[in-house]
Structure 1
Amino acid sequence: MTIASSSPAATPAVSGQAVELTVVRRDGSSTPFDTTKISVAMTKAFLAVEGADAGTTHRVRDLVTDLTGRVLAALTSRGPNSSPGRRSVQVEDIQDQVELALMRAGEHQVARAYVLYREERTKARTPADPSGITDKPAPTVRAADGSRSPLDVERLRVIVTEAAHDLDAVDAELILDATLGSCYDGIAEHEVELALVMAARSYVETEPQYSFAAARLLLDQIRREALGRVHGEPRQASQADMAQGYAEYFPHYIRTGIEAGQLDPELGGFDLERLAAAIRPERDLGFTFLALQTLYDRYLLHIDKVRYELPQAFFLRVAMGIALREDDRDTRAIEFYELLSSFRFLSSTPTLFNSGTTRPQLSSCFLTTVEDDLSGIFTGIRNNALLAKYSGGLGNDWTPIRGIGAHIRGTNGESQGIIPFLKVANDTAVAVNQGGRRKGAVCAYLETWHIDIEEFLELRKNTGDERRRTHDMNTANWVPDLFMQRVEADGEWTLFSPDEVPDLHDLYGAAFAEAYAGYEAAADRGEIRVFRRVKAVELWRRMLTVLFETGHPWITFKDAANLRSPQQHDGVVHSSNLCTEITLNTTVDETAVCNLGSVNLVAHLTADGVDDDLLRETVRTAVRMLDNVIDVNFYTTPEAERANQRHRPVGLGLMGFADALAKLRIPYASDAAVEFADTSMEQVSYHAIEASSELAAERGSYSSYDGSLWSLGILPIDSLDLLHTARDGDVILDRSTRLDWKTLRAKVLRNGMRNSNVMAIAPTATISNICGVSQSIEPTYSNLFVKSNMSGEFTVANPYLVADLKARGLWDQVMVSDLKYHDGVLAGIERVPADLRELYATAFEIDPLWLVKAASRRQKWIDQSQSLNLYMAKPSGRALDELYRSAWRYGLKTTYYLRSQSATHVEKSTLQGTDGRLNAVPVALAEPTGAVCSIDDPDCEACQ
């Protein structure tokens, strides 16, 4: 007889009659029999003998299932029935049968471990006699100059105790014991610091609070390094010391940065004593280990790789840089610092990198149109290099470039098309790697009617002529509505070279459809030299096939982006950006620029939803900060400065959406989640538009305001009508509202708008890590995984799930093993209650249509777009077709990566058991990935 170990209770048949087992506890009470407890106890014994990874192996899991069945069979076949169909068993009888089953299976060491486990449980039930602890002699520590001194165990105890402060699940003595066990005689000072951090981080997979403890131990290392560099002498400080230490350190830090030529000398003109007094040292305790390590590796300023910037000084430096042009810049800097350091809002990575420095390139995204001549092409590639140098992410519109076979008057030859030039642009992005902090990142956009579109689709393939491949460049289709309509009608589609159809590039909607049909008729009459006819649905299938195979080109929609653009009076949106959330006009003379930042949704939650008053306060300050970026920004090209000063677009987004759902107990795959996406974005939209309008009253409207949709009283929610009319109603839109939009329209008409565009939801790949929340609008990837980025590999456990499992008595080492075995997915762990499996369903368990529906409800409030990844566990041609047609029909402007599950899942490994090796490296792989991109794609960081 084999009974599944995951069965909570069992009623096996004996002599044809079902028998219900009851367990008699040691206190005489009774409880229903639960086979799960047997399998958990056995698994713990295997873990004790074979290591923490044993529970993830098929051999152990199958054996535990089999042995649990044997124990159950033995218990039901012996002893008297307490009543017909019932049988009572003592706890000791169950444990005896477990021991016997293990011995009969030949698992003698595991049986011994189980005996020891029983003994430990027995001791735990009896009061233990206090006993003294014999300390072994402390090892010596080797300083940088070679001198030695005894290891200061008491200081370690202070640091570890501080690290565990207010973390009820963290055992300071456990960290200290593990650290001391790793120390050897003659250990270097930096190795002691590493041993502390490694000791704490090894427990993160079993208790997420250890991530905060590890961060605080890393903070001790950062304090020693920064204080020593700023003060010019070795210094150590505990967290308690920093209550006064920050105030003393901060003016020295500013002077150090200015003398090193890294900080803008204008920062020295602030009231440094007043600003230093505003620093909140306790906020250093809010970082997770991933957050602080990322901050240390890539954001904190350094001289010769020695950091001199502490975390709160970092936030204040960024705030000071953004406040440079304010009238009362000390007050504003403190206001901005409060917002950033509280994690309620965070500016994008370029702003964090460069604010307050001598090269303050603070903008996130740049969109260009490449001109159709050799000089224009290489000017565009040169501008890419200049824009990427200081952390900008690029979107290039390549549609104007004539296609292969087109006539070149200057040489009387034929064009080789856009592919050779894209190869040059690709290699330029690789070469300009932003000082080694991250590679240059660019996305090429091409409209679907371009004659080179079929070769464009092949750019990311791993086969074919390498000279016509761009493995490092992102690509995206810029798809007009007419193409989608031809696909649905199973019609033909004509490809053209833009030199013969030049106006198609600047047309959309009905005007595009009319001109396109005219050019098709001209081609039929022989008046167009270069064209080709294809079946629209066959081209669509090829687009979806390569998207699945390579992750590119992404699918983005030209007409939705333009028909709802507030700036359609002053140009055309020809592409999106690197991460598909920016939709701004571009010309050869104007490079669109966007300045990004994101609201942390979780930081604004109450039990009833979003705290509207707090959100309004956050958004008002955030929009002011984003607008300030435009004026303090360092522009690397005149085209970028011209566009940004004329139109002043900003992109306010959000992050922590999945965390917010978890806190509100709303499953991602639910109508309630779609409603929350709607209501929360409505609040952000309302306050962002209001904030920009109030700034316009204070500072004036942007230059090209007159004639915009804003000036006509048409807000993003109203522009839905324009899309509905253009598509003759063939679009699924929700027009419901909850706030007083009539009053806001009147305010906009009265005050104007400071910014042409106000909202865009970026991926927040890095800044969400710093805040310790889920990325952007993404669903949870996995409930236990190892996150890989440029700072290393970090164990991440879903803290909300862990808290729920603890509350139900289900969080233990066996559950950790189960999560590893099932790649962080709860569906296969039957002892997890159904409501938790639904609440914590991961990205690949969710029907992607839920993501589209939620995105559609956000899109109605957003004047730009959103970085929307789509997840599909088992892609098929039909499923992809339905998904992307739905994205178009639901009115989305853009989509981002299509992610499918990789063959390589989470490594079944652990950080525990490193045996004190201080150079130990986590061996787990990254979480499930997309076709060719990791979940934390470094390219995304150009946005955030």
Structure 2
Amino acid sequence: MQATAVSSSNLRPGIAESGVLTTTDYPLPLAYSGLEVIRRNRSVVAFQPEKIAIAITKAFLAVEGQHGVNSSRIREQVAQLTASVVEALTRRLPGGGTVHIEDIQDQVELALMRSGAHDVARAYVLYREKHAEQRTAETSAADIVPSLQVEVDGQRQPLESLALQDVCREACAGLTDVDAELVWTQTRQNLYDGIPLTAVRQALVLAARTLIEREPDYAKVAARLLLSHLRLEVLGLAVNQAAMAERYADSLGEFIAAGIAAELLDPRLKDFDLPRLGQALLAERDLQFDYLGLQTLYDRYFLHIDGRRIELPQCFFMRVAMGLALNEIDREARAIEFYRLLSSFDFMCSTPTLFNSGTRHPQLSSCYLTTVSDDLDGIYQGIKENALLQKYAGGLGNDWTPVRALGSRIKGTNGHSQGVIPFLKVVNDTAVAVNQGGKRKGAVCAYLENWHLDFEEFLDLRKNTGDERRRCHDMNTAAWVSDLFMQRVEENGQWTLFSPVDVPDLHDKFGPDFAAAYVHHEAKAERGEIRQYKQIGAVQLWRKMLTMLFETGHPWITFKDACNLRSPQQHVGVVHGSNLCTEITLNTSADETAVCNLGSVNLPAHLSERDGNWQLDADKLQRTINTAMRMLDNVIDINFYATPKARNANLRHRPVGLGLMGFADCLQRMGLAYASDEAVTFADRSAELLCYYAYQASTELAEQRGRYSSFTGSLWQQGVLPLDTLDSLAEARGGLLETDRGAHLDWDRLRQRISQIGMRNSNCVAIAPTATIANIVGVSASIEPIYQNLYVKSNLSGEFTVVNAALVRELKALDLWDEVMVADLKYFDGSLAAIERIPEPTKARYATAFEVEADWLIEAAARRQKWIDQSQSLNLYVAGASGKQLDHLYRLAWRRGLKTTYYLRTLAATAMEKTAGDDAPTRACSITDPDCEACQ
């Protein structure tokens, strides 16, 4: 349908006034008390959400006509859109405040685009542009208010416009294609007489935010304006960038003293040579931030007292570094080394470490994996441990396979078990009740082997229908799948479900030993020696798994035998599941809670240009990894452990998980499409370097500090490295493993060195999702393809426009970056596919996640997996998923030797209505998750 501009004649008889449709037709949200609207003449009026409903209805009227607007479908859609706009505004200002009318209209436009009502959105945009032009033409000098009064501590004083314009100019200094005067002009629109001074500072930031979609460097402008506001909040006075070099030297000691006095910081921090550390702070590194990164730190990471931040960015990084250096011999030198690595953005610790390092409760670990035993004490002890571990920002993976199935006999009472499902409901509600220190939602994933008799009901846990007492809407689930099951699927064979109380040995077996024991138990069942079991076609169960995965996003598919046969720690236990994000593969038992400490290398920061070509700087990467591995190893000794089982396991095995982020950014800088053999090769090469240097660094730490205590008997000690374990996996599968074995580095030399010296850490590498720390650093998350080239990201810190700066630079070079291109990107949801004037090679390089065939994601992941001693968080993006396609992808993942997969992300049904002709697919994710880059 051709979009129709909304004209004044369309709108003259307002909908409410005409009697055709009134605001009583719309059930509006009530949580908007305290909101006020700044009109264009700077008067302030009460927020009236019913006017939003009227405006949206008028937009539909321009496109659908009177008959269409009167339909129940449109009425319902208008109500939903109005509610989403009001929710967005109240989420941004939960305590009330002022919002400019232009911001409201921006939200209406965004809601229309997100809903798929693109023609209506286009009509609304044209209407806004036309009236903006009219207002500009009608504005005279007399309409401009010459001066405003601001409120400071209850007193009114003149607005210092010149000083604020200086702040804008400083924020724009050194950046191209940004305009300080434009930022100030945009800010003026949001000011009114009597506005609080803090609101003026916020208005500066908001003004720069609105310009990010036009020019990515406004993200840095917004960050610097927020930085100015933060300095005023922390220091109590406005300090410009030039003065901060000297001011930082003093502020570190002031911050440490205030934090200790408020019982936030570890008192041992005062024992450092604070003047020396203060002199090491680099004020210029404040200018690296994009707005999303600094706002995330401001909202969720910087320490505060009664809501007032006491931490500046470089003090924050030094606080984290000091916390990690507490046990070092030369603490100051190591703290400065750690600080320089963090503040350069070359490496970033995981969120729990950033939250808690240097504090009185240094829970620095990211992941905890537990096994729940088959008795009431063990079950509730496991639930209690979940709550304790989660309190200080730990993500949980629970192995529930040992718990007997529904109907199994309880020997002590001669009754019958209710099975796993009711206990998982308690786990779900505990995760809701005990969030992660009040800073982010609690998160847990339950793992169950797919031979468990409760497994079919386990698949239904995330469904929105059925008995709510047997549903878990707030927790994640994952299937722990054996090679034997996959072989039965390939053969279209039968599969048998057992209660673990009848086959207790299966839980601790893997590979050929599991297969032999499983077949033995099947024979016993056929002879009547096991009474409680069920047979089902393997393909039938596989299809149900994939169906539930498509419909609910769960369970994630993870492969038991690849995790165990390739584990370097087979001699001390069994891997019974993974963690919340499926990258950790550590042993668990009733006596050991596995713990992993994470951090990620910023891969784009290690690219260097030589003769016009970009490549990884191996020397810099090695230096970064050496320091990063030391930091991660230090976490183990400093960490606050909520349970003895976690402490004992972590000190015994000392596993860490070094990962990477910014993979997609590297490809774009190198001019490579994600869907290409060259990208797969880069995935291989970058992972080889990461792992080689990580294993080498752990060996060097062992030489300095000693081996981890369970090293003897490990695959490391036997000279078997992760690459070598592919042979064991292939042999166990009878050759059903299709993966590349090529290598470029001197692994023989490293193998010999490890055998002689040992390893400091049982496990070294795991690639986590990095959703939040990638935001802080300003790079693409983990190994993900780009989600969209322009979109609005919503998370706990608010809503943020995200635009692909690399694409903008390329389009500028092609003389294609203009207002029309911005509008096209917004219309086509960040996709280039339908924009005809963009060259095809550019479209290929900047293809979005749902435009990259998922096979390429698996091929790249397989190349990484051959080097990694743990696993990687691998999301699969599928547009127009079918059962046949999902079957192909997950069988391919198994055949390529992947250990785990994470989310399956598919397009919502409504998003598939558009085609690549006049319209383009809406890139809407069907899954909503706090760690999803698409949904944050």
TM range (shorter): 0.7 to 0.9
Residues 25-174 of structure 1: pairs in structure 2 closer than 5 A: 137-144=146-153, 146-174=154-182
Distance 1:159 1:905 in 2: 43
SS in 2 for 1:691: helix
Contact 1:481/1:558 (CA < 8 Å) preserved in 2? yes
Distance 1:529 1:265 in 2: 61
CA RMSD of aligned residues (A): 2.6
* 1:540 match: 542
Q: String of CA shifts for 1:614-654, please: whole Å, max 9, x gaps.
A: 00000000000000000000000000000000000000000
Deviates more, 1:384-393 or 1:54-63: 54-63
* 1:601 match: 603
* 2:823 match: 817
**What is the CA-CA distance between 1:935 and the residue it aligns to?**
7.2
Match of 1:866 among 849, 867, 872: 872
Structure 2 vs 1, CA of residues 798 and 896 (structure 1 numbering), >3 Å: closer, same or farther? same
Residue ranges of structure 1 left out of the alignment (5+ in a row): 3-46, 65-101, 118-131, 229-234, 909-926
**What is the CA-CA distance between 1:135 and the residue it aligns to?**
9.2
Residue ranges of structure 2 left out of the alignment (5+ in a row): 3-101, 915-921
Distance 2:301 2:178 in 1: 28
* 2:633 match: 627
* 2:928 match: 933
* 2:370 match: 368
Contact 2:687/2:864 (CA < 8 Å) preserved in 1? yes
Q: String of CA shifts for 1:907-932, please: whole Å, max 9, x gaps.
A: x9xxxxxxxxxxxxxxxxxx945433
* 1:204 match: 212
Q: String of CA shifts for 1:20-40, please: whole Å, max 9, x gaps.
A: xxxxxxxxxxxxxxxxxxxxx
Distance 1:466 1:213 in 2: 49
Distance 1:493 1:854 in 2: 32
**What is the CA-CA distance between 1:940 and the residue it aligns to?**
12
- Letter of the 1:817 partner, please give it: A
Q: String of CA shifts for 1:42-77, please: whole Å, max 9, x gaps.
A: xxxxx9xx999699776599999xxxxxxxxxxxxx
- 1:576 paired with 2:571, answer no
SS in 1 for 2:247: helix
Residues 780-929 of structure 1: pairs in structure 2 closer than 5 A: 780-902=786-908, 928-929=923-924
SS in 2 for 1:222: helix
Distance 1:773 1:812 in 2: 24
- Letter of the 1:581 partner, please give it: E
Paired residues in the alignment total: 812
* 1:93 match: none
Contact 2:398/2:447 (CA < 8 Å) preserved in 1? yes
Contact 2:659/2:768 (CA < 8 Å) preserved in 1? yes
Match of 1:350 among 340, 349, 352: 352
SS in 1 for 2:529: coil
Residues 672-821 of structure 1: pairs in structure 2 closer than 5 A: 672-821=678-827
SS in 2 for 1:385: helix
**What is the CA-CA distance between 1:180 and the residue it aligns to?**
2.7
Distance 2:311 2:911 in 1: 37
Match of 2:410 among 408, 411, 418: 408
Residues 606-621 of structure 1: pairs in structure 2 closer than 5 A: 606-607=608-609, 608-621=614-627
Structure 2 vs 1, CA of residues 600 and 412 (structure 1 numbering), >3 Å: closer, same or farther? same
Distance 2:792 2:641 in 1: 38
SS in 1 for 2:189: helix
SS in 2 for 1:257: helix
- Letter of the 2:468 partner, please give it: E
Structure 2 vs 1, CA of residues 500 and 244 (structure 1 numbering), >3 Å: closer, same or farther? same
Match of 2:283 among 263, 281, 296: 281
**What is the CA-CA distance between 1:793 and the residue it aligns to?**
0.8
* 1:195 match: 203
- 1:664 paired with 2:670, answer yes
Distance 1:807 1:940 in 2: 31
SS in 2 for 1:570: coil
Distance 1:590 1:112 in 2: 65
Identity of matched residues, %: 62
- Letter of the 2:765 partner, please give it: M
- Letter of the 2:328 partner, please give it: E
Distance 1:894 1:824 in 2: 29
- Letter of the 1:666 partner, please give it: L
Contact 1:662/1:800 (CA < 8 Å) preserved in 2? yes
Deviates more, 1:746-755 or 1:475-484: 746-755
SS in 1 for 2:407: strand
SS in 2 for 1:580: coil
Contact 2:850/2:923 (CA < 8 Å) preserved in 1? no
- Letter of the 1:691 partner, please give it: A
* 2:487 match: 485
- 1:557 paired with 2:559, answer yes
Contact 2:793/2:934 (CA < 8 Å) preserved in 1? no
Contact 1:345/1:618 (CA < 8 Å) preserved in 2? yes
* 2:56 match: none
SS in 2 for 1:405: coil
Distance 2:712 2:420 in 1: 37
**What is the CA-CA distance between 1:494 and the residue it aligns to?**
0.4
**What is the CA-CA distance between 1:904 and the residue it aligns to?**
7.1
Q: String of CA shifts for 1:238-287, please: whole Å, max 9, x gaps.
A: 12221111112111110000000000000000000000000011111111
Structure 2 vs 1, CA of residues 934 and 832 (structure 1 numbering), >3 Å: closer, same or farther? farther
* 2:647 match: 641
**What is the CA-CA distance between 1:939 and the residue it aligns to?**
13
SS in 1 for 2:723: coil
Distance 2:851 2:446 in 1: 31
**What is the CA-CA distance between 1:109 and the residue it aligns to?**
10
Contact 2:781/2:933 (CA < 8 Å) preserved in 1? no
**What is the CA-CA distance between 1:903 and the residue it aligns to?**
5.2
* 2:427 match: 425
Residues 323-472 of structure 1: pairs in structure 2 closer than 5 A: 323-472=325-474
* 2:244 match: 242
Distance 1:897 1:577 in 2: 13
Q: String of CA shifts for 1:746-785, please: whole Å, max 9, x gaps.
A: 1111210000000000000100000000000000111110
Structure 2 vs 1, CA of residues 319 and 905 (structure 1 numbering), >3 Å: closer, same or farther? farther
Distance 2:145 2:463 in 1: 61
**What is the CA-CA distance between 1:195 and the residue it aligns to?**
1.1
* 1:222 match: 230
SS in 2 for 1:785: strand
Contact 1:417/1:452 (CA < 8 Å) preserved in 2? yes
Contact 1:823/1:905 (CA < 8 Å) preserved in 2? no
Structure 2 vs 1, CA of residues 285 and 413 (structure 1 numbering), >3 Å: closer, same or farther? same
SS in 2 for 1:367: strand
Q: String of CA shifts for 1:581-627, please: whole Å, max 9, x gaps.
A: 00000011100000000000010001331100000000000000000
Higher relative contact order (CA 8 A, sep 6+): 1
**What is the CA-CA distance between 1:897 and the residue it aligns to?**
0.3
- Letter of the 2:183 partner, please give it: I
Structure 2 vs 1, CA of residues 757 and 111 (structure 1 numbering), >3 Å: closer, same or farther? closer
**What is the CA-CA distance between 1:936 and the residue it aligns to?**
3.7
Distance 2:168 2:481 in 1: 57
**What is the CA-CA distance between 1:380 and the residue it aligns to?**
0.3
TM-score, structure 2 normalization? 0.84
SS in 1 for 2:823: helix
Contact 2:787/2:934 (CA < 8 Å) preserved in 1? no
Contact 2:205/2:225 (CA < 8 Å) preserved in 1? yes
Contact 1:579/1:940 (CA < 8 Å) preserved in 2? no
Contact 2:793/2:935 (CA < 8 Å) preserved in 1? no
